[in-house]
Chain A
């Protein structure tokens, strides 16, 4: 009997297919791994270098509700570490318990950020820090009153002297201290990172498939790129609403109308609801939103937002992958506030 007639030919053929396909299957997404490696240190600007004293002062200020007109709202009220540095609400709540226009964004990983706020209206964490404090709708405390208030506390005098000797308690040093603390808020190593480092057992095969979809058919990495899963770019993704986002800041640039900053996806599983307006209640709803190509068609909508034709299996794989970005971070210590 020749090989062509032998029943073993089928076994031989299947073995050859397996040998050709399986290495590729095992290396699913491997070609993208280098794009997602974590950095080894946090960047601090030359104008505001790190010190423990500065970080502790910034953390103290961040958690101090007296940085508000009501003495009730601290930065941490909305940027709550227990809600992955957001507040778990569709829209933030400000002074007088009034609902704000946009969802509170996380402060995770902003040391690597570029422009701050959903609409990118400030250039740095230092420039951003006191915006919400002074905003009448948010913390409602004029800066001169803030400085007068905290200067009365001996504890703050000591903290500022240790952090910024010779500079005093000023708008500048308050901003710099808060920014220094915010830069220290970094999402830890997640199962995804261990897989990137070479541990093939760190995430499931389903999640690996999701990662490949993330970088290919689902087009997520067009905007959610790099280890923080954001390119810091501004895109109109076709959400319903009147809020023009960055378009309000730069009204002459068509592509920025209804465009908002791409948020990080690190620990995204802990930050429902989603989008700048909190309109999507779950990761499943987010994936469904993108799968249909958004809710609105208009000239400013990003070229990357289009119907994706994902199957249910593919959608589930994407969500499985997104969940691998969640790290088991240590709790943030909260120091006693100066009295």
Chain B
């Protein structure tokens, strides 16, 4: 019980510091070309476009695929590990964003 009280502030601090960041997609482009996150942060992709997108990364350990994202929808990914990756839209490869997690 004593140990729980000792580590509780640490746990609370970790949850409190995780942030949400929003990137919009419009005109077949991301609103930012690069972003820096802290481990545990969420990156939310908001489709403000008139066409679907599909954000993905093929680089480990940040490999993921958000799947098809219709206009008006949001999709998010949590970045737990430090590293650098270029995210792309699978359909529109000119849409790129560099994500640095540190």
Contacts and interface: CB of A to CB of B under 8 A. Distances in A.
Main secondary structure of the interface of B (DSSP, over half): loop
B28 interface: yes
Interface in A259-290: 259
A255 B68 contact: yes
A234 B90 contact: yes
A72 B2 CA distance: 82
A115 B95 CA distance: 12
Main secondary structure of the interface of A (DSSP, over half): loop
A256 B93 CA distance: 12
Interface string A224-263: 0100000111110000000000000010111110010000
A120 B65 CA distance: 18
Interface in B53-93: 54, 56, 58, 65, 67-68, 70, 90-93
Interface residues of B, number: 15
A254 B68 contact: yes
A197 interface: no
Contact of B54 (A114, A232, A253, A304): A253
B31 interface: no
Contacts of B65: 252-253
A232 B51 contact: no
Given A231-B92, A235-B91, A222 B68 contact: no
Nearest to B53: A255
A295 interface: no
A234 B68 contact: no
B52 interface: yes
In this complex, the interface size class of chain A, counting residues with CB under 8 Å from chain B, is 10 to 19
B28 A231 contact: yes
A313 interface: no
B54 A233 contact: no
Contacts of A303: 51-52, 70
Interface string A183-213: 0000000000000000000000000000000
A120 B58 CA distance: 14
B21 interface: no
B93 A115 contact: yes
Contact of B93 (A114, A225, A252): A114
A250 B90 contact: yes
A233 B52 CA distance: 12
B93 to A, nearest CB: 5
Contacts of A254: 67-68
B94 interface: yes
Contacts of B91: 233-235, 255-256, 259
Q: Which among B28, B65, B92, B93 has the highest number of chain A CB atoms within 10 Å?
A: B93
B92 A253 contact: no
B94 A114 contact: yes
Contacts of B93: 114-115, 120, 232-234
A259 to B, nearest CB: 8
Contact of A232 (B52, B58, B68, B92): B92
A231 B94 contact: yes
Nearest to A259: B91
A223 to B, nearest CB: 9
A233 B68 contact: no
Contacts of B28: 225, 231, 233
A143 B55 CA distance: 36
Nearest to B96: A114
Nearest to A123: B93
Interface string A98-126: 00000000000000001100001000000
23 contacts: A114-B93, A115-B93, A222-B51, A231-B28, A231-B92, A231-B94, A232-B92, A232-B94, A233-B92, A233-B93, A234-B91, A235-B91, A250-B56, A250-B58, A253-B65, A253-B90, A255-B52, A255-B54, A255-B68, A256-B54, A256-B91, A303-B51, A304-B51
Given A250-B58, A256-B91, 18 more contacts: A114-B93, A114-B94, A115-B93, A120-B93, A225-B28, A231-B28, A231-B94, A232-B93, A233-B91, A233-B92, A234-B93, A235-B91, A250-B56, A253-B54, A254-B68, A255-B52, A255-B54, A303-B52
